[in-house]
Amino acid sequence: MNIVVCVKQVPDTATERKLRSDDKTLDRDAADGVVNELDEYAVEEALRLKEAHGGEVTVLTMGPDKASDTIRKALAMGADKAVHLVDDALHGSDALGTSHALAQTLKKIGFDLVVLGSESTDARTGVLAAMLAERLNVPQLTFANKVEVNGSAITIQRVTDYGYDRVEASLPAVVSVVEKINEPRYPSFKGIMAAKKKPVEKLGVADAEIDAAQVGLANAWSEVTDFAAAPPRAAGTIVKDEGDGGAKAADFLASKKFI
Amino acid sequence: MSEVLVLVEHVEGQVKKVTLELLTLARKLGAPSAVWAGPGYSAEAKAKLAEYGAEKIYVADSADIADYVVAPKAELLAQLVSSASPAAVLVAATAEAKEIAGRLAIKIDSGVLTDAVGIGEGLVADQSIFGGGVNVQSRVTKGTPIIAVRPNATPVEAAAGAGAEEQVSVAVSDAAKVAKVVERVKEEKGARPELTEAAIVVSGGRGVGSAENFSIIEKLADSLGAAVGASRAATDAGWYPHQFQVGQTGKTVSPQLYIAAGISGAIQHRAGMQTAKTIVAINKDPEAPIFELADYGVVGDLNQVVPQLTEEISKRK
Ligand SMILES: Cc1cc2nc3c(=O)[nH]c(=O)nc-3n(C[C@H](O)[C@H](O)[C@H](O)COP(=O)(O)OP(=O)(O)OC[C@H]3O[C@@H](n4cnc5c(N)ncnc54)[C@H](O)[C@@H]3O)c2cc1C
Ligand SMILES: Cc1cc2nc3c(=O)[nH]c(=O)nc-3n(C[C@H](O)[C@H](O)[C@H](O)COP(=O)(O)OP(=O)(O)OC[C@H]3O[C@@H](n4cnc5c(N)ncnc54)[C@H](O)[C@@H]3O)c2cc1C
């Protein structure tokens, strides 16, 4: 099975994240770049499927040069090779542009299964997997907490507000995963060393047959017109429980008309 | 006045509160047209939608719309966008509705904004990003704006609309029938409101100590008519089901009141609850970062404080 995992580099949530004042896009220099957490679960799931069914795992990322750190981490976990979509023309792409670029690349490199995280921690749009399914005209199997492949049949459990739906489809397909699907492995020392020798192919917009008029900030379907840091919350009242903490909290709730 | 399509969220035939919020918002932007997709439509649903301002109600209540993942609903909306030429399409910022919005955006070649907390003049959306740290204004520059609005961001107001019903026949395409829902499994959730919709959320964390002890969190929640949430430490430990996790990799909630018990307030937890209007924290560690956010904090053992609070609330009702 030919599995492609989409992995995004995001600013570390633990550092202060900012937008750039010049073009209002994500300030990638302000914070450390890390692998989007859910994408580690996506890589893990791809590796498990490969271990069970054979095949190959390719990592695909779209991002600036420094996103190669993200690729290396996925390769160290055990992915076989990587494609790095990197081109200044891609800077500032919105979800439609990003999905166009990734879909074109996926068509070019071929796949039986595409695995993504269900949401990134920076933009959090949660639309990419659905958009890829739409663009590639393949089944959308998203928000999976369980994936089973049997020949060309694929079944997932799609997490819902009330529990889950069991969804059936056949390959090729797009899957997105939630955090409870597995426990991602740590790269071993051997894995880290091996990753250095694994092939990473760099593609630009023209190489991947991406329509330059559909990507980049200037061609985006949406724009940020303004932004500002949220005003800090006013300091609250902190009391120590001296046997009456619950009652005091109730007084507070009553003062705010919650009870 | 142009139509504004509002995709109705419904469960077991009941219109969800977020839809009333979207209708309230849509009234400022044009003439609200509710779009009902999937089975369960009733006179009661119609009355509710009209009460909150739906001028039109498009009804596509065949079963096959809901029997396949997301794609049929995106097809339905695309069809309505082409026939009604609305000023905008509003959906709730829930996991599934955002996916519908995403597929629709591609079908109609239009921009999509997710997680709006308000929409103003010129269809400029307010978004709260980076866990509530930055406020952004954004707008769609190509096509028909598709905006996913966060539940609980808009106060609901009734204002009757005509509620003219229009049946829509959709032939779900073969392309949209490739991911079939073969079983729906409902996990016990009791009578509590849904997490993202609830006006009050009571969450427990590692400090709760066990699955059994989550009953004290549930009792407090029930005394307030609240939903129950949990930190990742609690869901990872298996003390509470994953779908109740609040935070960066869980649900984002913006209730009127958020009570955090035995939760330290890690940045990833804060990312999912920071925009709550009022925050109350109960934690035995006075240095816990959750107190930096709290409007009211009690430093103490939750095993004492939470039951006492529950009792006080019941007494004062
Ligand atoms: C704060 C912020 C808000 C934004 N809001 C919007 C908006 O409202 N509308 C809009 O159209 N765009 C928006 N964008 C732009 C958006 O971030 C990019 O288009 C992005 O590449 C895709 O969105 P996402 O990360 O939210 O995708 P999600 O759908 O949340 O990500 C799901 C998965 O897609 C995969 N993935 C995402 N990006 C890449 C990538 N570059 N390379 C490889 N895999 C990837 C990963 O597996 C990821 O887990 C926003 C950006 C920021 C920084
Ligand atoms: C990429 C990433 C994504 C994440 N996503 C999420 C997410 O979506 N949601 C989330 O919640 N976390 C998330 N986390 C985890 C997050 O970093 C924290 O580990 C988690 O929130 C901690 O949960 P907690 O506060 O319950 O536990 P702890 O941090 O262990 O805190 C427990 C608190 O309980 C207090 N306590 C203990 N006993 C008592 C008692 N008897 N009475 C009163 N107080 C008591 C302690 O003083 C302590 O402050 C994520 C982490 C990463 C790296």
Mean pLDDT (whole number) for B192-197: 90
A110 has pLDDT over 90: yes
Q: In this structure, are B123 and B266 located in the same domain?
A: no
- B188 within some domain: no
| pLDDT at residue B222 greater than cutoff 80 | yes
The answer to whether residue B148 scores a pLDDT higher than 80 is: yes
Higher pLDDT, A179 or B35: B35
Residue B40: burial class (beta carbons within 10 Å; 0-12, 13-18, 19+) = middle
Q: Give the range among A13-22, A47-56, B150-159 with minimum mean pLDDT.
A: A13-22
Q: What CATH number is given to the structural domain containing B260?
A: 3.40.50.1220
Ordered alpha helix ranges (H), B150-263: 214-224, 232-236
CA–CA separation, B109 and B143 (whole Å): 6
Give the pLDDT confidence score for residue B133 in this predicted structure: 86
Residue B255: closest CA among B178, B177, B155: B155
Residue B186 located in a structural domain: no
- Rounded mean pLDDT, B205-227: 98
Q: Which residues pair with A177 in a beta bridge?
A: A117, A144
B139 and A223 within 8 Å at the Cβ level: the answer is yes
Task: Give the pLDDT of residue A13.
Answer: 85
Question: Do the Cβ atoms of A249 and B135 come within 8 Å?
Answer: no
Mutate to test the pocket of ligand 1, among A17, A94, A125 (most ligand atoms within 8 A of CB): A125
Give me A180's structure tokens: 């409870």
Task: Residue A7: name the closest of A48, A68, A51, A55 by CA.
Answer: A68
Same domain, B23 and B151: yes
Residue B105 sits in the same domain as residue B218: no
B182, part of any domain: no
Q: Return the best residue to mutate from B195, B244, B258, B263 for the ligand 2 pocket (most ligand atoms within 8 A of CB).
A: B263
Work out the mean pLDDT of chain A and round it to a whole number.
96
Structure tokens at A176: 């997105």
* Distance from the alpha carbon of residue B191 to the mean position of ligand 2, in angstroms: 26
Whether residue B185 is contained in a domain is answered as no
Shared domain for B23 and B150, answered yes or no, is yes
What pLDDT is stored for residue B189 in this prediction? 65
> Are B294 and B256 found together in one domain?
yes
State whether residue A225 sits within 8 Å of chain B by CB.
Answer: yes
pLDDT in tens, B92-122: 999 999 999 999 999 999 999 999 999 999 9
Q: Which atom of ligand 2 is nearest to the CA of B209?
A: 38
B139-153: average pLDDT: 96
For residue B219, is pLDDT > 80? yes
Q: Is B232 part of any domain? A: yes
Is B275 within the bounds of a domain?
yes
Q: Are residues B9 and B118 in the same domain?
A: yes
Q: Is the domain of B239 the same as that of B275?
A: yes
Do B210 and B257 lie in a common domain? yes
Q: What percent of chain B has pLDDT over 70?
A: 100
On whether B79 is known to bind a ligand per the annotation, the reply is no
**Chain A residues within 8 A of B107 when measuring between CB atoms:** 134
- Looking at residue A150, what is its pLDDT? 97
The per-residue pLDDT for B171 is 87
Question: What average pLDDT score do residues B245-271 get?
Answer: 94
What CATH superfamily classification does A2-230 receive? HUPs (3.40.50.620)
Closest protein CA for atom 23 of ligand 2? B233
Angle between helices B71-84 and A128-136 (to 10 degrees): 80
Residue B305's SS3 state is helix
Closest CA to A82 of A100, A96, A69, A91: A69
Question: What average pLDDT score do residues B289-302 get?
Answer: 97
Structure tokens at B93: 């910022």
If asked whether residues B113 and B61 sit together in one domain, one would say: yes
Of A122, A137, A222, the CB nearest to B175: A137
Query: How far, in Å, CA of B125 to CA of B122, rounded?
Result: 9
Q: Does A165 touch chain B (CB under 8 A)?
A: yes
* Beta carbons within 10 angstroms of residue B167's beta carbon: 10
In the listed set B177, B192, B220, which residue is the last one of a domain according to the structure? Answer: B177
* Residues in B 49-88 with any Cβ partner in A closer than 8 A: 69-71, 74
Helix or strand holding residue A72 (H, E): helix A68-77
DSSP state of B277: S
> How big is the A-B interface in CB pairs under 8 Å?
283
DSSP B68: B
Q: What CA–CA distance (Å, rounded) separates A184 from A26?
A: 27
Question: With 90 as the cut, is the pLDDT of residue A29 above it?
Answer: no
B264 Cα to the center of ligand 2, angstroms: 5
Average pLDDT, chain B: 95
Ligand number with the minimum distance to the CA of A85: 1
Q: Does B135 touch chain A (CB under 8 A)?
A: yes
B132 and B213 housed in the same domain:
no
Distance from the Cα of A54 to chain B's closest Cα (Å) equals: 24
At B57, which CATH number? Answer: 3.40.50.620
Is B189 within a domain? no
Cβ–Cβ under 8 Å, residues B204 and B262: yes
Number of domains in chain B: 2
Q: Taking the model in full, what pTM does it have?
A: 0.94
Of ligand 2's listed atoms, the one at least distance from the Cα of B234 is 26
Q: Which of B137, B256, B298 is opposite residue A249, by nearest beta carbon?
A: B298
Smallest Cβ–Cβ distance between B135 and the set A140, A158, A228 belongs to A228
What type of residue sits at position A85?
L
- Is B231 within any annotated ligand binding site? yes
Structure-block tokens of residue B199: 């006006």
Within this chain, do residues B152 and B31 fall inside the same structural domain, yes or no? yes
Write out the residue range of the structural domain in which residue B238 sits: 200-316
Kindly state whether residues B152 and B242 are assigned to the same domain. Answer: no
Asked if A129 is an interface residue toward chain B (Cβ–Cβ < 8 A), one would say yes
ipTM: 0.95
What pLDDT score was predicted for residue B185? 93
Mean pLDDT, residues B81-100: 97
Measured from CB, residues less than 6 Å from any atom of ligand 2 are A 37; B 205-207, 231-234, 245-250, 262-264, 266, 268-269, 272, 282-285, 288, 301-303
Tell me the nearest-neighbour CA distance from B46 into chain A, angstroms.
24
Please give the full DSSP string across A183-234, using - where no structure is assigned: -PPPPPHHHHHHHTTS-EEEE-TTTTT--GGGSSGGG-SEEEEEEEEPPPPP
Helix (H, G, I), strand (E, B) or coil at A155: strand
> Which amino acid appears at position A74 of this protein?
A
What mean pLDDT do residues B216-224 have?
98
Supply the pLDDT for residue A235. Answer: 84
Which residues pair with residue A5 across a beta bridge?
A59, A115
What does the pLDDT look like over A39-77, one tens digit per residue?
A: 999 999 999 999 999 999 999 999 999 999 999 999 999
Residue matched to tokens 């959308």: A140
In a domain, B195, yes or no: no
Mean pLDDT of A199-211: 98
